[in-house]
Amino acid sequence: MVRELDSETVTSTNAYSSTTDFVLKWVSYNLNELLFDIQEKGVNSVTIKVEGSFDEDFTNPREIKEETVLSDSGIYESLSNRFNFVRVRVKSTVADVHGSLQVNVSGG
């Protein structure tokens, strides 16, 4: 059974920043797989990447989805690697031209 877990709109800044990260505590859901639906909101292009970690501070993050530019488009990313925490990082593709991102997460 698939269920929606979380949804959030994130606005980009000029650099990756923990203040704009979308973070999900995967371990609290006890699920085998997550599906991320990440959509650029049609404002300005943004650059994203997805990382996983076993600790909340992401002291040793592992790259799940390499840096990707979203411009009036989106991606679906299915994760079956088991991490305690997963984060979507976002930054502006062009300096001082900020964009907006919608992150929806489902699991099963």
Report the residue count for the chain. Answer: 108
Share of residues in the chain with pLDDT > 90 (%): 36
pLDDT tens-digit readout, 8-57:
998 999 999 988 888 988 776 777 788 888 888 877 889 999 999 999 99
- Is it the case that residue 1 has pLDDT exceeding 70? no
In this predicted structure, what is the pLDDT of residue 13? 92
How many structural domains comprise the chain?
A: 1
In this predicted structure, what is the pLDDT of residue 30? 73
In this predicted structure, what is the pLDDT of residue 47? 93
For residue 57, the domain's CATH number is: 2.60.120.1090
- Is it the case that residue 5 has pLDDT exceeding 90? no
- Is it the case that residue 87 has pLDDT exceeding 70? yes
Which domain does 97 fall in, by range? 3-107
Calculate the alpha carbon distances from 22 to 1, 52, 74 in Å: 24, 12, 16
- Mean pLDDT of the 77-91 span: 85
